[in-house]
Chains A and B, each alone.
Chain A
Amino acid sequence: AQSVTQPDIHITVSEGASLELRCNYSYGATPYLFWYVQSPGQGLQLLLKYFSGDTLVQGIKGFEAEFKRSQSSFNLRKPSVHWSDAAEYFCASRGSQGNLIFGKGTKLSVKP
């Protein structure tokens, strides 16, 4: 069965430091991959998506992600984290039925 793994449950970074959130997927064919962000009590906001083409994808709020087929990974990065980036981040893959399959999420805390 398809699955998405986010190995880090909680990450704390200092404001201004760089960030990398890990995501691994399992799917034989070309995956369609997404990163969403959720602030407390809110819904999910789409940060970026990968369907095909350039493996480095730019998103909103200064985020980017790189698709690496050889590593089955789609890691999210940001060069300089802001306090407002504190939230929970979800990686997702499109399932065979069109639904999204989500990882368990990584909670990001930002130290001043």
Chain B
Amino acid sequence: RKEVEQDPGPFNVPEGATVAFNCTYSNSASQSFFWYRQDCRKEPKLLMSVYSSGNEDGRFTAQLNRASQYISLLIRDSKLSDSATYLCAVNLNTGGFKTIFGAGTRLFVKA
């Protein structure tokens, strides 16, 4: 089993829809969590950190559930420009710190 797992999708949604992605992690030493966005043939870019109390940035909401060991990303009022792959990342405290990236979830927003 992978340490960080995401539904690969693709998620095909119409403009204006609300879409949610989950990312599960297996290591209880996971300390911090992030969502990245990666456009086709580009580098991943940090979308937002995920805080314990949940956090929002415009149309994007990130939540953490430590008991069930998952993080989520909610996108409201989807735009065509939201089409991308969304990667979750987990920083583990294993003596040193290690980052594990999920394989990503592909989102297509259609007109």
Partners in one complex: no
